[in-house]
Structure 1
Amino acid sequence: MKAMLDMFKDERRARWFFAAHAQGALGAGAGYIALLVLAYERIGSAWGATAVLLADLLPAMLLGPLLGAAIDRTSRLAGAVLADLIRAAAFGALVFTHSTGAMIALALLAGFGTALFRPSTWALLPGLVAPSRFSAAVGLFNAVRDTGQLLGPVLAAGLLVIASPAAVLGINAVTFGLSALLLLRLRGHVRRPAATEAAMDEPVSLRGVLRDRFVRVMIGTSATVTLCAATMNVGELVLAQRDLKAGATGFALLVSVYGFGLIVGALCAGRDGGDARLCYFAGLGGIAAGMLSTAFAPTLGFALFTFGFTGAANGLFSTSNRILLTRAIPERVHGRAFGLVDSLDSWGFGLAVIAGGGLASAFGGRALFAVAGSVLFVIWACAAYTLRSRVMPEISAPVPTLIPATQG
């Protein structure tokens, strides 16, 4: 925590960035719930809500690397600002939309904004903080995102008591607009990466970067964990209701404990002096162990412990994975690389949403957790063997110049 507090004290750019990220993440968490409720009310079926959810994922699934390439060739900061403006417009228009086709089209537009925002911010982050504070910045970035996902639905629940789902979506649109305004304060204050002779020899295409076995393992494990974690999100309701007989209250407790674990894990991985490689393997193995333990949980109390443990392991893994990827990939192709990561993660999440519900209903929540945990143990062993001798470089220090206001 000290490294994060020092970063806030000394890095003014980071304060504006995280202020934008915090209120945007909270609004997005609330807006996600409101969007599903509104889609169900106006379309009249659960499949309609599912269609809207998948429409939100589709742009990242299909366009991630292309959007990342556009970011690398233009401006990471401009990409993040444009993404927020697109999402503000899409969610604002959803307030007044009633037809099924229009709702799905606007969900696609919002998804396009999200697909542009994620690689933009990951590519932008190294230029906002000193290299020695980058791990802390990644940990805080993930912790803020996870806090939004945890508290956003709670905020939505409170707002939906006194306001309509459309009103909550309107509030979400406002948060994205504010995020864009806050990000604009960074114009002319993003540090340029060091222009070293070694950097000129680095690959400038995504295909060249993917020749590195380490990068392939990082990207592949990220997608696999996303698939298994999303399967867990689908199976946890069946586990709580059918296997543990815990009801809606037990389900809510499991989700809350898991979310809290994510935040703790992200903060631990970003701590000062932390070993990202150790956190990566501990997190990946911990997710596998946690999911397998959940499959055999005899009581709700035991399941709450395994859910919290799994969440903390996932936070540890996802944060260290992004730290290691950023160190391994030349900064000139960060947009393309993180666009590909976002694309594969979205495919994993989408496949889990489509297939996970049916599998959980057919075989039960325990079986789903056991299979996902077993798969991740195999992935952990393969990653440990493949990367047993790889030594990672540190992020190079930036030169003391600033990117002009027209660049990012």
Structure 2
Amino acid sequence: MRDLRTLFVTEPRARRLLAAHAQSSLGTGAAYVALLLVAYDRFHSPFAVSAILLCELAPAILLAPMLGAAADRWSPKVILVASDVLRCAAFVALALVGSFEATVAFAVLAGVGQAAFQPAVMASLPRLVERKSLPSMTGVYGAIQELGYTAGPVLAAAAFVLVEAPGLLLANGITFALSAVLLATIDFGRPATAEAGDGTAKPRLLAAVTDGARALRANRAAWTVVLSSTAFVCFLGAINVAELVLVRETLDGGPAHYSLVVAAMGLGIAGGSLFGARAQDGDAAGRQYLAGLALCGVSLLACAAVPSWPVALATFAMLGVGNGLALVAENVLIQHVVPDAVKGRVFGLKSALISTSFAVAYFGGGALVAVAGPRATFVGLGTGCLIVWVAARAVLVRTSAGRPAEVVPAPA
């Protein structure tokens, strides 16, 4: 707690970034519900919902590595503000257009903004705070995001009394505009490649992505975390399908019960994110990352055996704690061991791989639940997560992640 107080008292640039992030995360959480409702109303098909979900993932899968290279090359402020302006325009347009085709197009545009924002902001965090405050900053940033995603749908439910779904999309566009204004007041410094540049010509962005992948593979700890996280999400991401069927059909719960289970997991993720802020170096982050993976695996197995939805609240909250702990610990580890000049590219590559895993999980989870049922699905998901934990532990316990790798990344 002392580290969190120090962060808010002594880091004014961090306070502004977190304030921008808090209000936009609430808007995004509320708009997530509204956008799915708008898509379904305009096309009247479950495929409309799937298309909208893919609109968020596809830009990250295809563009995040290139956008991460851009974050290493150009001003973080320009990229972050431009991303928010792009998302503002996309959500205002989503509120105004009427056709499903236009809805998909502007949802893709919003996805591009998100794909550009994520690697840039994660690579920028070390420039905003002292090194000792970096774990706290990463943990608070993750916790705010999850709280926004948890509280946003509740806010949307209350707002639907007064406005329809397009009104919430418009409000979300306004939150991105406010975020852009706040971010424009922050000094993010120059990109690490600009600070260390020697005047030589920079490679094309695609070549820079390749150089970033090479630098990532040269760091055993970071490479292990990125690969294991990619595999881990293939299993964990499937609960987006399985938990709904478990609560509604196996446990005979209603919409309210399902909402409570989702909220319990979201609060667990926020709590785990804050706990993950305790890691003060790469080695500590590695241990917390492994603890998060193990807790997720055990929790998924426990979810398979829950007798009622009140018990499910506890098991899904525990699952959320493990997820939040792993999410923050992996980012803290990468920030500690990856050189500044290549951080954007590494986070961009990670984003692309994780988004691909979510796409696999969304489709594979539905097929698995249809064939095996929800309880057997959770057994399979939990077993898979524990296998990932065993494999990651075998590498990380023999690898020091205490300081940046001794590699010389190519310029972005």
- TM-score over 0.5 (shorter chain): yes
> Unpaired segments of 5 or more residues in structure 2?
197-209, 406-412
C-alpha separation between the residues in 2 aligned to 1:135 and 1:322? 9
C-alpha separation between the residues in 2 aligned to 1:180 and 1:223? 31
Equivalences, count: 390
C-alpha separation between the residues in 1 aligned to 2:216 and 2:189? 28
- Alignment-derived partner of residue 86 in structure 1: 86
Q: Secondary structure at the match of 1:205?
A: helix
C-alpha separation between the residues in 2 aligned to 1:272 and 1:241? 38
C-alpha separation between the residues in 1 aligned to 2:274 and 2:219? 28
- Alignment-derived partner of residue 313 in structure 2: 304
Q: Deviations along 1:266-287, whole A, 9 cap, x unmatched?
A: 1111037583222111111000
Read off the aligned partner of 2:59 and give its amino acid letter: P
- Alignment-derived partner of residue 58 in structure 1: 58
- Alignment-derived partner of residue 186 in structure 1: 186
Q: Secondary structure at the match of 2:237?
A: helix
**Aligned-CA RMSD value:** 2.0
1:268 and 2:275 matched: yes
Q: Could you tell me which of 244, 248, 257 is aligned with 1:250?
A: 257
Q: Deviations along 1:230-249, whole A, 9 cap, x unmatched?
A: 20121001101121122223
Read off the aligned partner of 1:390 and give its amino acid letter: T
After TM superposition, the structure 1 stretch with the greater mean CA deviation from structure 2, 303-312 or 116-125, is: 303-312
- Alignment-derived partner of residue 400 in structure 1: none
Read off the aligned partner of 1:218 and give its amino acid letter: V
- Alignment-derived partner of residue 346 in structure 2: 337
Aligned-pair identity in percent equals: 36
Aligned 1:60-79 pairs, distance under 5 A: 60-79=60-79
Alignment TM-score, normalising by the size of structure 2: 0.90
- Alignment-derived partner of residue 279 in structure 1: 288
1:227 and 2:246 matched: no
1:81–1:184 contact (8 Å) kept in structure 2: yes
Q: Secondary structure at the match of 1:162?
A: coil
Distance change >3 Å, CA 272–CA 223, structure 1 → 2 = closer
- Alignment-derived partner of residue 47 in structure 1: 47
Read off the aligned partner of 2:86 and give its amino acid letter: I
- Alignment-derived partner of residue 382 in structure 2: 373
C-alpha separation between the residues in 2 aligned to 1:324 and 1:187? 24
Structure 1 residue 302: Cα displacement: 2.4
Q: Deviations along 1:135-192, whole A, 9 cap, x unmatched?
A: 0001001000001110011111111121011110000000001001100011366797
Distance change >3 Å, CA 22–CA 395, structure 1 → 2 = farther
C-alpha separation between the residues in 2 aligned to 1:134 and 1:154? 31
Misfit runs of 4+, over 4 Å: 188-196
1:128–1:190 contact (8 Å) kept in structure 2: no
- Alignment-derived partner of residue 398 in structure 2: 389
C-alpha separation between the residues in 2 aligned to 1:314 and 1:161? 33
- Alignment-derived partner of residue 401 in structure 1: none
- Alignment-derived partner of residue 362 in structure 1: 371
Q: Could you tell me which of 303, 319, 324 is aligned with 1:315?
A: 324
Read off the aligned partner of 2:349 and give its amino acid letter: L
Alignment TM-score, normalising by the size of structure 1: 0.91
C-alpha separation between the residues in 2 aligned to 1:11 and 1:231? 38
Structure 1 residue 263: Cα displacement: 0.7
